[in-house]
């Protein structure tokens, strides 16, 4: 322990990554403080994964009611109260944020409310909300975990009328019409949320199909399924401008179409939150994309400063930030150098229906597997929809390295896909073969049983519909 400094470790940012690193290190007997300028919990708890999932669950009820009617239930006069929901959600988020703060306290971490700015490699200045100087703190080591911020194209005429996901969590009323720009996780998830709540929803994406980077069959299948849920999907175009009219916001598109909505939301990516941190002063360099440059052990270009989570723009997922925090702690404080393994990290898109994927897409496998690739694919109507008029379909796809017979990718679109993929990820991470998957007896009747009963290989040379 160094008495030269106020703390052994000073963490900037009390989100998922920062909190985990701070707690582990304090529990290990070090003097730790964490600075947070907003609310403890970070993006995930305050304005990301958690409130988003509550919104998805609120929205999915409308679909559940439709299914229920097929089973003989009736819900005449059922209605949804947006302000009541937002209030309930905010109470729960405040409770969770409080638990995070309490857990920091129990671990012996000092919580510093304010904005931390690096003055040199061992010194941070804490600024108050009004920008005034609060105090100077020194630390032997510093960990930056400030996360990311939504980005929208600032040069677009009228962009000031548009919101991002941050404001979407607090809209005073549910709009009648919304246009969401973007085709990634956030765009697809919020399009599902608003459509499920009865909002006339348009998704505008510049590329040929949504969810770039996902398996082409997943992309094509999901685009079809969300259209079945009433979302209007416009591909291959972008905004030319946004204009305020007497009746709403006029979205003028580059393809010449005009669409009037009440709300326009940009979900066009997030950027590392590095502004005003004083990184240069401390010798912390950035990558070309504006993220903090780190090595495999999350060490920045300054010897005593590390960075984890979205601010490093490696794999921007909460559980990954937490694993990076653990690896940082093991490496720096437990003499056990650990680099997080980004291979076979499962991920879910909470669209409606949701997506769960792990491992390689078919196209990635065709590039990286030395020999051929076997593809097993099924589309079917879930049993739950038997009594409804719905023609919704589930997609399940296994990508197998033909030479080793290892299952290298699993892709699911359909109800409970996020729950299924967590378990499938164990088998993919463990490198199990298709024969080992097949040796696992099915659970019947479930959707997941398809994963262990897929027999028919797709003809080789099959080109995915992407
Ligand atoms: P993404 O990077 O996933 O998607 C951004 C979208 O915006 C892409 O479709 C991109 O198009 C489009 N875009 C970018 N620039 C422009 C532009 N100038 N004009 C029009 N469209 C543009 O970002 P998100 O904001 O959706 O999410 C950020 C990250 O947060 C995700 O990548 C993910 O890591 C994480 N996240 C994870 C979730 C989960 O785990 N369920 C949920 C939400 C977020 P193109 O594809 O052509 O580049």
User: Which CATH number is 347-459 given?
Assistant: 3.30.390.30
Tell me the fold of 159-268: FAD/NAD(P)-binding domain (3.50.50)
Q: Closest ligand 1 atom, CA of 185?
A: 26
Q: Closest ligand 1 atom, CA of 165?
A: 25
Residue carrying structure tokens 């076997």: 374
Gap from CA of 33 to ligand 1 centroid (Å): 32
- Domain regions of the chain by residue span: 7-61+75-149+271-333, 159-268, 347-459
Q: Which two tokens stand for residue 375?
A: 């593809």
Gap from CA of 247 to ligand 1 centroid (Å): 29
Comparing 7-61+75-149+271-333 with 347-459, is the CATH topology the same?
no
Number of helices (H), then strands (E), belonging to the chain: the values are 12, 21
What average pLDDT does this structure show over 415-442?
A: 98
What average pLDDT does this structure show over 256-263?
A: 98
**DSSP 8-state class, residue 433:** B
Three-state DSSP class for residue 329: helix
Query: What is the H or E stretch that residue 180 is in?
Result: strand 177-181
Nearest CA to ligand 1 atom 24: 269
Residue whose CB lies within 8 A of the most ligand 1 atoms, among 206, 272, 316, 350, for a mutation test: 206
Q: Express as a percent the part of the chain with pLDDT over 70.
A: 98
Q: CB atoms < 10 A from the CB of 339, how many?
A: 12
Cα radius of gyration (the chain):
24
Tell me the fold of 7-61+75-149+271-333: FAD/NAD(P)-binding domain (3.50.50)
Query: What is the H or E stretch that residue 465 is in?
Result: none
Nearest CA to ligand 1 atom 41: 349
Nearest CA to ligand 1 atom 38: 185
* Assessment of whether the complete model's pTM goes beyond 0.85: yes
Q: What is the pLDDT of residues 28-45, one digit of tens each?
A: 999 999 999 999 999 999
Q: What is the pLDDT of residues 369-424, one digit of tens each?
A: 888 999 999 999 999 999 998 999 999 999 999 999 999 999 999 999 999 999 99
pLDDT given at position 464:
44
pLDDT given at position 463:
45
49-70 and 82-107 helices cross at what angle (nearest 10)? 140
Which residues are known catalytic residues? Answer: 444
Q: CB atoms < 10 A from the CB of 27, how many?
A: 14
Residue whose CB lies within 8 A of the most ligand 1 atoms, among 148, 268, 272, 313, for a mutation test: 268
What average pLDDT does this structure show over 13-18?
A: 98
Whether 182 shows a pLDDT value over 90: the answer reads yes
Judge whether 446 and 396 are in contact, CB under 8 Å: no
Nearest CA to ligand 1 atom 22: 268
pLDDT given at position 247:
97
pLDDT given at position 131:
84
């Amino acid at each position: 322990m160094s008495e030269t400094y106020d703390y052994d470790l000073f963490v900037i940012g009390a989100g998922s990554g920062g909190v985990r690193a701070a707690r582990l290190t304090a529990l290990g007997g070090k003097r730790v403080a964490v600075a947070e300028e907003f609310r403890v919990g970070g993006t995930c708890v305050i304005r990301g994964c958690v409130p988003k999932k509550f919104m998805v669950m609120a929205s999915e009820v409308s679909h559940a009611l439709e299914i229920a009617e097929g089973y003989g239930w009736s819900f005449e006069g059922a209605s949804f109260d947006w302000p009541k929901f937002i209030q309930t959600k905010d109470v729960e988020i405040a409770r969770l944020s409080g638990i995070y703060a309490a857990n920091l306290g129990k671990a012996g971490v000092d919580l510093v409310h304010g904005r931390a700015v690096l003055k040199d490699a061992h010194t941070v200045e804490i600024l108050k909300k009004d920008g005034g100087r609060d105090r100077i703190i020194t630390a032997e080591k510093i960990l930056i975990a400030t996360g990311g911020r939504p980005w929208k194209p600032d040069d677009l005429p009228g962009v000031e009328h548009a919101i991002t996901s941050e404001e979407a969590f607090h809209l005073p009323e549910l709009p009648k019409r919304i246009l969401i720009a973007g085709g990634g996780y956030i765009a697809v998830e919020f399009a599902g949320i608003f459509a499920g709540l009865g909002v006339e929803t348009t998704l505008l994406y510049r590329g040929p199909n949504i969810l770039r980077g996902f398996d082409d069959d997943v992309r094509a299948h999901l685009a079809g399924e969300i259209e079945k849920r009433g979302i209007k999907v416009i591909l291959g175009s972008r905004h030319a401008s946004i204009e305020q009219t007497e009746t709403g916001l006029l979205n003028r598109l580059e393809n010449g179409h005009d669409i009037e909505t009440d709300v326009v939301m940009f979900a066009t990516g997030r950027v590392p939150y590095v502004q005003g941190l004083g990184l240069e002063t401390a010798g912390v360099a950035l990558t070309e994309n504006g993220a903090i440059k780190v090595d495999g052990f999350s060490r920045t270009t300054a010897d005593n400063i590390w960075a984890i989570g979205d601010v490093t723009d490696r794999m921007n997922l909460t559980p990954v930030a937490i694993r990076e925090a653990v690896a940082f702690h093991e490496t720096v404080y437990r003499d056990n150098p650990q680099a997080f393994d980004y291979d076979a990290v499962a991920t879910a898109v909470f669209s409606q229906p949701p997506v769960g994927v792990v491992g390689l897409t078919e196209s990635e496998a065709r590039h990286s597997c030395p020999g051929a690739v076997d593809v097993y694919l099924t589309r079917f109507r879930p049993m739950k929809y038997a009594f409804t008029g719905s023609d919704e379909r589930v997609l399940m796809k296994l990508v197998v390295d033909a030479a080793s017979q290892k299952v290298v990718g699993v892709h699911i679109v359909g109800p409970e896909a996020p729950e299924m993929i967590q378990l499938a990820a164990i088998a993919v991470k463990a490198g199990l073969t298709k024969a080992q998957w097949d040796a696992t007896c099915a659970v019947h009747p479930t959707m997941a049983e398809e994963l262990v009963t897929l027999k028919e290989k797709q003809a080789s040379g099959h080109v995915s519909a992407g």
